[in-house]
Amino acid sequence: MIGEWIRFIIAAVLLLFGLFVEVRAILGVYRMNYVMNRMQVAAMGDTMGLMCILVGLMILSGFTIMTAKMIMILLFFWLASPVSSHMIAEIEIVTNPKADQEFEVTKP
Amino acid sequence: MEILNSAREFLLGFVMVVMAIILILALIRAIIGPRFTDRIVAINMIGTEVIIIICVLAYLIGEQYLVDVALVYAMISFLAVVVMVNLYLTVYREKTLKSKEEAEILSHEHGIEVGREEYERRQKASMKAEGKEGTQ
């Protein structure tokens, strides 16, 4: 009985922390000015927020098949999210007409 | 046991409601955003939040097969971003670069391919900066 309560409290702390990170991410997207800054803040929500909420759900549900599927979702999203961030940054540098005012592009 | 069950339901319901509000705010960002890359970033965030909502709902109802939908959604949203960016880049390069040789020369000097006007504008800006530093 105490075991159930401990499990619930740990999962609740993780879920609420993940929720706080996501709220912080959407607030950051609204307060930042340029696309590059917004992309960095959004990536914070994609990695940390997703991990904390999914780990909290994994603790709540124990050793079932749902836990294994959530581990797969987490692994795939962590591998795919930096690739899409890199592509968005590349297209931003190529097509922005005001590139010099917003960020520095150093020659390789 | 009663207290535990009702507390769990309340917590998960609260998480879902806040996630739905965040999703609407991200949608407003996709509508407002002045450039199109703002919109791509907002759609990416919406994808992440939909995954979270589906997983919490799957635990709340008790049906374990709904988590597969979240996995497929993650893959498709990643694919959508890749396809959109590649398509736009190809069309942009075809419109602004005049021939293939020019494209090779520009990419050699600059590292990434930009249009001709953009390249000349950046050359002027860098020469102005060098001129000012030289006189000072």
Q: pLDDT class for B109, splitting at 50, 70, 90?
A: low
Inter-chain residue contact B111 with A88, CB threshold 8 Å: no
pTM of the model: 0.81
Segment B86-105 shows an average pLDDT of 75
Q: Are B103 and B89 in contact (CB under 8 A)?
A: no
Q: Which residues of B touch A99 (CB under 8 A)?
A: 122
Which residues of chain A are modeled with pLDDT < 50? none
Q: Are A30 and A6 in contact (CB under 8 A)?
A: no
Inter-chain residue contact B42 with A29, CB threshold 8 Å: yes
Is A107 an 8 Å CB contact of chain B? Answer: yes
Q: What is the dihedral sign for C-alpha B42, B39, A84, A27?
A: negative
pLDDT at B107 exceeding the cut of 70 = no
In chain B, domain spans: 2-135
Nearest CA distance, A50 vs chain B (angstrom):
7
**For residue B12, what pLDDT is reported?**
95
Is A93 an 8 Å CB contact of chain B? Answer: yes
Q: Which residues of B touch A2 (CB under 8 A)?
A: none
**For residue A94, what pLDDT is reported?**
83
Residue closest to B16 by CA, chosen among A10, A46, B8: B8
For residues A53 and A16, what is the distance between their CA atoms, to the nearest angstrom? 8
DSSP B65: G
Segment B29-46 shows an average pLDDT of 92
Q: Which residues of A touch B110 (CB under 8 A)?
A: 107
Which residues numbered 3-22 in A keep a CB inside 8 Å of some CB on B? 4-5, 8, 12, 15, 19, 22
Q: Which residues of A touch B81 (CB under 8 A)?
A: 84, 87-88
Q: pLDDT class for B27, splitting at 50, 70, 90?
A: very high
Q: Which residues of B touch A107 (CB under 8 A)?
A: 110-111
Among the residue ranges B57-61, B63-67, B103-107, B118-122, the one predicted with the least confidence is: B103-107
Q: pLDDT class for B125, splitting at 50, 70, 90?
A: confident
Residues written for chain B: 136
Give CA separation, B127 vs A28, B105, B131, B133, B134, in Å: 36, 19, 6, 10, 10
Is A56 an 8 Å CB contact of chain B? Answer: no
Say what the ipTM of the complex is.
0.91
Nearest CA distance, A21 vs chain B (angstrom):
11
**For residue A102, what pLDDT is reported?**
72
Nearest residue in B to A64, CA atom = B64
Nearest CA distance, A71 vs chain B (angstrom):
10
**For residue B111, what pLDDT is reported?**
55
